[in-house]
Amino acid sequence: MPQMDNVKFGLETTVLPNKSSEFFSNIEKNGFDSIWVNDHFLPWSDRDAERFPYTNFMQWVYLPLILNYTSKVKVGTAVTCPLFRYHPAIVAQYFAQLDWTFPGRVILGVGTGEMINENPFGLWPNLKERRERLAEAVKLIRMLWENKDYFTFEGKYYQLKNAKLYVRPKEKIPIIISAGGPKAAKLAGEIGDGIMVFAGSPAEVEDRILKPYREGVKKAGKKFEETERAIYIFGGVVDPNILTKILKGLKRTVIWALEEAHKKADPREIDQLVEAAPESIVLEKAVFVTSTDELIGRLEKYVNIGINHFIFADFTSIIARKPDEISDIWSKKIIPYFKGK
């Protein structure tokens, strides 16, 4: 039986204009271990971004602010692509300085990228090449963090001449690899300090993601139990009387989970996918439940297959029209349930 007391809880949030320092400190006070922000160039919805442009900010700007607003919680990206928009050396430099300023509180979540974010820069190779680039980028990032002397890097995709970071991380920055399929999961096990997966059925996550991840971990000579196994979940606890009423409005918020959306470079085309998608996609791709106990039961199933870190995009307070609050279901029931085991 997995150890429940090792389970961590993170909250994924958009930095809204009205979010104060108190909002982020309250996340910490409510018992969360981590705060996560996304990182986009173009949005998943043109319609939403026109109405709420701040949901599509370059979130790197807010990482030091959130770290400054809090004192213990760790802060990470979900996720940054270190392949095209950002050269891996720039990623290494930025996050090294973050950890130098806020030691031991920085997490670098990386992945192979999304078409809407990287294609505008003129390069979007196939997934095999993007995985190769990711492995090389992670290697280069770690070299910059660890080498105290100048070095030259001649990779297949990236090159550096006489490079050295004078400001290096004070503590180890975990590199968490986002994985949506078996090959990416195996790579995450080989090169990462952990993996980040998207919510699916526990059986699917275990067979399609965690099994190849274990293989990669073993190949790299690491121990599965000593790695981070995070799952990104979008959802919340909703009054059963209004659940069916809000499904249509929530379709745009989960459209990124559709494979077809990842083949689009134009957010306007993704909006067209939303219109054609059935409302059932919300319940298929997210975890909306009608009670806290039901949510605990869903999370427990993930723990039983090896997940040890939940990154939750919680809509409980938003749907209750209290967007500036952290629902007390976390501090009163969910987190104590797992931490007390």
For residue 131, the number of C-alpha atoms closer than 13 Å in the C-beta half-sphere is 17
Backbone angles phi, psi at 229, to 5 degrees: -125, 90
Instruction: Report in angstroms the alpha-carbon separations of 102 from 6, 27, 65.
Output: 23, 18, 11
Report, as residue numbers or ranges, the catalytic residues.
Answer: 40, 114
Amino acid making up residue 25: S
Q: What is the 3-state secondary structure (H, E, C) of the chain?
A: CCCHHHCEEEEECCCCCCCCHHHHHHHHHCCCCEEEECCCCCCCCHHHHHHCHHHHCCHHHHHHHHHHHCCCCEEEECCECCCCCCCHHHHHHHHHHHHHHCCCCEEEEECCCCHHHHHHHCCCCCHHHHHHHHHHHHHHHHHHHHCCCCEEEECCCCEEEEECCCCCCCCCCCEEEECCCHHHHHHHHHHCCEEEEECCCHHHHHHHHHHHHHHHHHHCCCCHHHCEEEEEEEEEECCCCCHHHHHHHHHHHHHHHCHHHHHCCCHHHHHHHHHHCCCCHHHHHCEEECCHHHHHHHHHHHHHCCCCEEEEEECHHHHCCCCCCCCCHHHHHHHHHHHCC
Task: Record the tokens describing residue 111, joined without a space.
Answer: 């992945």
**CB-based contacts of 158, cutoff 8 Å, min separation 6:** 87, 88, 89, 133, 136, 137, 140
User: What's the pLDDT score for residue 1?
Assistant: 43
- Upstream peptide bond of 79 is cis (omega within 30 degrees of 0): yes
Highest CATH level, class, for 4-339: alpha beta
User: What's the pLDDT score for residue 259?
Assistant: 87
Those residues of the chain that have pLDDT short of 70 are 1-5, 15-19, 341
Task: Record the tokens describing residue 22, joined without a space.
Answer: 């108190």
User: What's the pLDDT score for residue 13?
Assistant: 87
- The domain ranges of the chain are 4-339
Q: What is the pTM of this model?
A: 0.95
The rounded mean pLDDT for the chain is: 93
Backbone angles phi, psi at 175, to 5 degrees: -105, 115
Task: Record the tokens describing residue 263, joined without a space.
Answer: 């083949």
